[in-house]
Structure 1
Amino acid sequence: MMPRRSPSFPASLWLTAALAVSTNATPVLFGSTLGQIVDSSVKGLESTIVSLVFPGHQTTNRTASRCKVYPDDPAWPSEEAWTKLNELTDNRLLVKPQPQASVCYEGPLYDATKCAELTGNWSRSYIHFPDPIEMMSPVAQGMTCLPPTIFNTHNCTRGGFPMYVVNATTPKHVQAGVNFARDTGVRLVVKNTGHDFLGKSGGADSLSIWTHHFKDINYIDNFVDTKTGYSGPAFRCGVGVQAFEIYKAAHEKGRTVVGGEGETVGIFGGYIQGAGHSPLSSLYGTGADQVLSMDVVTANGDFVTANSTCNSDLFWAMRGGGGSTFGVATSITVKAHPEMETSAARFSFTSEKVGNETFWSGIRAYVDDFITNADAGTYAYFTLIPNAATGIFTFNMSPFFAPGKTLEQTQGLLQPWLTRLSDLGIKVDPNITHFDSVYEAWQSSFPLEVVSKINATTGSRLFPRANFETEAKRDELFQNIRQSSENNRVQVHFNIKAVDPDNADNAVNPAWRQNILFAQQAVRWNALGTPAEILKARKTFQETDMQRWRDISPGAGGYLAEADRLEPNFGETFWGSNYPRLLELKAKWDPNDVFFATTSVGSERWKVESVDGLPNENGKLCRVSR
């Protein structure tokens, strides 16, 4: 049941309390402005409730506790306190929302028809992103409630899902949630769509701030930033805006924006904070490079604007420093670029008819073109799929994406490799298509992203230009890619560079500026294996296949949004030389670690003590013993 308003608290007092949040600078707001907290605004509230909700009224020091506060702890907030939080968020607090698959298990929610429908569509992201708690990484959630035909958990528990969710639609809702979590010690998580390889949008028995419904999109004809010198079109968007929404809105204005290829990904909430690679990155850089301004709720409950002249250090950190770390963004302003013609190609081939050696000769020939294609501004998204049972390898190009290129220019880029494939006896049908816009090409070319598998996780590496500048280095990288396939690792690759537009000064991993191949490989295990067996498989993967990739790219890094929770030295890997400064800014903007996400800045001080000992969110978040 949703908490109800206590009759002893008049509506007029709740209106004042709901606005009891502070502001700093001059944020660009969607909706009404916010008020300033003053002691008189909470006069008459029971002191114990005030201490749980409002900054500056704490009666107990929660920062020294070993773990965040959980339901079995004496310090867990009372029902009355949760009721007050519901009032502060305009009755938008969701209490104990159940996993979607609960309809498949015996109990009051069982519904065979709904279970069958859910099971048939389980892998589609459209089933999950509108849900307040669902995470698209079942492994990170803890595998505690999936449709039985996918993985039979025999009963359904929340596992790594939160216990309470603030369905936020205004900054004041976010502020109330942040203040409550900070002053009670309850674990706080932030969720937009749930797209994340590492499960950063979940946490057992936590309070979640769900930002999915910040959906405003405003077009600005001429945004002027006198400090950076930018003057041009922009979009100011709520952080819940997804790729398919902003791409359509931009196209209607004759514009395009830098975002991911996945159509349901939350571009402004999560993607941009982690840097964000894009089909346009070889032309314009990462998603974070496009940001002109951000409206942010900080750990102390302030609602601030961060840009090149105001809170500039926070602005620097939140452009590439990772989500759920320095604050909760509510709206972001980004550059808009001209719409342009685009060509794209999709094709595939296997080793079935030509044999493995010829197949791999074809892949080796492609590696020679990586620098040329990236420098031409293209974005190639391809996979290498091994089949251990048959010994057959499959290559899929889906797609070779060439923004700003005519059909003839794209054919010219691909033809040298296609000729070499033909000489090897490898027949392909490249299906090169021209589109009048990036939007139309994107709609036609990229596959719908799916929910992660229940028995796999992915590691990544940003291979720099140095790995491709000589034949010897190209041979070395190729042999390591082949070895991973022969070790039965599914691989996803992006031949891409991330230009540094206007010498962007932000927290984006410097390794992106040298990247030519963003490479991922996955480890798979027996889903029915014991936790010890699964953990061994995951650790072995890091110690062997991933370590080989690290060894041949010293000083490079990985991508924090598509990675393995067991990545060693993640601070250096995900942020390189930026990590020391990010740690300093974490201490400044969130000294008490109100915000936490696995492998985020400063997260080495904490660990989820999971129920089964595996790297997932099904357990208490506690400090690491020193």
Structure 2
Amino acid sequence: MERRSPGSLSAAFWITAFHVASSYASPILSPLDLSHLDTKLKGVPLELSSLFLTDSLRSLNGTASRCKVYPGDQTWPSDEAWAKLDGLTDNRLLIQPQPQAAVCYPGLAYDADKCSEITATWGRSYEHMDDPIEMMSPVAQGMTCLPPNVFDSHNCTRGGFPMYVINATEPKHIQLGVNFARNTNVRLVVKNTGHDFLGKSGGKDALSIWTHHFKNITFIEEYSDEKLGYSGPAFKAGAGVQAFEIYKAASEKGRVVVGGEGETVGIFGGYIQGGGHSPLTSLYGTGADQVLSYDVVTAAGEFVTANSTSYPDLFWALRGGGGSTFGVVTSVTVKAHPEMPTTASRFSFTSEKVGNATFWAGIRAYVDYFIPNADAGTYAYFVLIPDISTGIFTFSMSPFFAPNKTLEETKALLQPWFTRLDDLGIAFDPNVTYFNSFYEAWRSSFPLEIVQKINVTTGSRLFPRCNFETEEKREELYRNLRESSENNRVQVHFNMKAVDPANADNAVNPAWRQNILFSQQAVRWPVNGTAEETLKIRQEFQAGDMQRWRDISPGAGSYLAESDRLEPNFGQAFWGSKYPRLLQLKAKWDPKDVFYATTGVGSERWTVESADGLPNENGKLCRAG
């Protein structure tokens, strides 16, 4: 990948550029750090040097222009400006990085052997998580460069991928990138692992800040915050730390942290800022509930620590308000809980031998136990898979996860339902297994997450306790789940509750506090259909199957990290009563909308004018209306 040559500015300029007015802020660079710069370049024009100011002396493009600045625009930064950004970020600027599948297309980086290699493993998240631009959502990217055997895009373009990437390893790299984007009006995106299925980590011709290599993990024996009501052990982890890394580090200290079930998810990026459900949520709450402190670069380019006493309003917003919205997080300090034994069960059954009526009777029986199982602190991850061509339905539990439960306790929770399945003649092998630790159980129980399919998107709903408190309401919900399956919707469900820890005053969607079943259903469209046909199918899905789910759970919500870009009234759906305050804080902390993420707080002011009219990142970001 091409790199620009470095440049530099005077020490006096940089002392000004990185001055942080607040007493709580931590300046990154000192005069000693910069003493080697003052002789490298003299007479730098103010027009160029001001691009990197934290509190810019002027805004080159203002905030009134309809769209962000793009290549070909008169105000697009010069090659010299990009070269300066590269040099000042320690030559960590990647220029026009190629999509992985470029090796499959003649005229680019064609390599038939490499193309065969990546095609064979394209669906594995491990093949994408270390790439500077890849998103695990080709639909959101724009489908412009995939292996032809996966989807033939006929040629390869970056589409919704960024044009420049700062491979950040220090806060100063992020500060420089934020300042440059704000002062030039270039679109800015933030990427960690690319696990966001809505495409929030991409943007056509954008400047991307890649936080994947912030990997430090520090164990703190005793952390105390009286205002949060917490005193105990904690971990401070870089924004790039993933689930498999923090879970292993915690286990080595005899601890657990609240994180996602997917092993390659970046726990301390968008996951924890957006709330984050976990196999431990029924015991300890959401991921955001665990946060004790953030280190973050703000839209003004300042590097600050946000906690209960330092920038408390920013701290409130970052705990649940969504990533790529209020700042770029570099590290997070979270509560550490005791390691615990865990029991898990994996099994499946189908309607093939018993018939659909009996199969659905087994599912209906399960619905009766959602409240007691969640109240017992368990986390059940199960899927319902229809095969319309054969008329066969499949249920798969992967897994029923019972942290801090013995084998006998877990069997006792499951036995009432299992007895009813036996009475119905449904054959299954529950495979209930006891593990000495959460870490062992987690490693053995959950499937590896995959890259999103090329003709699928998913909507979600947080079904509250009231949907399960009476026989009538349970029957109503069951009928709606069955109807979705009969409409060929693959469904993914999580039976859990998000307990509300003491003093968990944060931006987490209040609907999580009432949740008993977090449910997703997917819509599919023909792979080779037109954009118009695809959009119509997606809109009908929202107006039909998703609206049915909303109708039976009035006032509830959805989960912003696992949802549909077409979710109507997303502010209410993702944040409920918290949204008005979040909008106020967005205006305070990012008045120029430096940060944008689809369906993020304040994103209704903007729209991506995509090349094909579909909801993806392959288009200019412009003001709505």
- Are positions 1:270 and 2:270 aligned together? yes
2:113 match = 113
1:606 match = 606
Q: Which moved more, 1:20-29 or 1:542-551?
A: 20-29
CA-CA distance at 1:33 after TM superposition: 5.8
Q: Secondary structure at the match of 1:347?
A: strand
1:89 match = 89
Query: In structure 1, how many angstroms separate the alpha carbons of the residues matched to 2:494 and 2:550?
Result: 17
Deviations 1:87-130 (A, max 9, x none): 12111000000000000000241001111110000000000010
2:19 match = 22
How many residue pairs were aligned? 618
Q: Assess if the C-alpha contact under 8 Å between 1:22 and 1:35 holds in 2.
A: no
Query: In structure 1, how many angstroms separate the alpha carbons of the residues matched to 2:12 and 2:148?
Result: 46
CA-CA distance at 1:469 after TM superposition: 0.1
2:458 match = 458
- Are positions 1:251 and 2:248 aligned together? no
1:46 match = 45
1:30-429 matched pairs, under 5 angstroms = 44-54=43-53, 55-58=55-58, 60-429=60-429
CA-CA distance at 1:16 after TM superposition: 7.0
Q: Secondary structure at the match of 1:241?
A: coil
Q: Secondary structure at the match of 2:548?
A: helix
Q: Assess if the C-alpha contact under 8 Å between 2:29 and 2:172 holds in 1.
A: no
Query: In structure 1, how many angstroms separate the alpha carbons of the residues matched to 2:32 and 2:502?
Result: 38
Query: In structure 2, how many angstroms separate the alpha carbons of the residues matched to 1:27 and 1:237?
Result: 19
1:559 match = 559
CA-CA distance at 1:44 after TM superposition: 3.3
- Are positions 1:568 and 2:565 aligned together? no
Query: In structure 1, how many angstroms separate the alpha carbons of the residues matched to 2:156 and 2:524?
Result: 24
Query: In structure 2, how many angstroms separate the alpha carbons of the residues matched to 1:606 and 1:503?
Result: 34
Q: Assess if the C-alpha contact under 8 Å between 1:21 and 1:35 holds in 2.
A: no
Q: Assess if the C-alpha contact under 8 Å between 1:341 and 1:438 holds in 2.
A: yes
**What letter is aligned with 2:52?**
V
Deviations 1:333-382 (A, max 9, x none): 00000000000000000000000010000000000000000000000000
CA-CA distance at 1:582 after TM superposition: 0.2
Structure 2 CA distance for partners of 1:35 and 1:389, relative to 1, 3 Å: farther
**TM-score when scaled to structure 2?**
0.97
Query: In structure 2, how many angstroms separate the alpha carbons of the residues matched to 1:44 and 1:19?
Result: 16
1:443-454 matched pairs, under 5 angstroms = 443-454=443-454
Q: Secondary structure at the match of 2:502?
A: helix
CA-CA distance at 1:72 after TM superposition: 1.4
CA-CA distance at 1:51 after TM superposition: 2.8
Q: Assess if the C-alpha contact under 8 Å between 2:59 and 2:184 holds in 1.
A: no
Query: In structure 2, how many angstroms separate the alpha carbons of the residues matched to 1:198 and 1:179?
Result: 26
Q: Assess if the C-alpha contact under 8 Å between 2:61 and 2:75 holds in 1.
A: no
Q: Secondary structure at the match of 2:596?
A: coil
Q: Which moved more, 1:222-231 or 1:142-151?
A: 222-231
CA-CA distance at 1:45 after TM superposition: 1.9
Q: Secondary structure at the match of 1:434?
A: strand
Q: Which runs of 5+ in 2 are unaligned?
A: none
Q: Secondary structure at the match of 1:501?
A: coil
**What letter is aligned with 2:218?**
N
Structure 2 CA distance for partners of 1:34 and 1:191, relative to 1, 3 Å: farther
CA-CA distance at 1:139 after TM superposition: 0.1
Q: Assess if the C-alpha contact under 8 Å between 2:6 and 2:88 holds in 1.
A: no
Query: In structure 2, how many angstroms separate the alpha carbons of the residues matched to 1:571 and 1:265?
Result: 24
Q: Assess if the C-alpha contact under 8 Å between 1:19 and 1:36 holds in 2.
A: no
**What letter is aligned with 1:306?**
A
Q: Secondary structure at the match of 2:273?
A: coil
Q: Which moved more, 1:480-489 or 1:101-110?
A: 101-110
Query: In structure 2, how many angstroms separate the alpha carbons of the residues matched to 1:21 and 1:451?
Result: 39
Structure 2 CA distance for partners of 1:357 and 1:402, relative to 1, 3 Å: same
CA-CA distance at 1:208 after TM superposition: 0.2
Query: In structure 2, how many angstroms separate the alpha carbons of the residues matched to 1:546 and 1:260?
Result: 25
Q: CA RMSD in A?
A: 1.8
Q: Which runs of 5+ in 1 are unaligned?
A: none
CA-CA distance at 1:280 after TM superposition: 0.1
Q: Assess if the C-alpha contact under 8 Å between 1:480 and 1:549 holds in 2.
A: yes
Structure 2 CA distance for partners of 1:354 and 1:205, relative to 1, 3 Å: same
Query: In structure 1, how many angstroms separate the alpha carbons of the residues matched to 2:59 and 2:42?
Result: 16
Q: Secondary structure at the match of 1:557?
A: coil
Give aligned-pair identity as a percent: 72
- Are positions 1:2 and 2:3 aligned together? yes
**What letter is aligned with 2:610?**
S
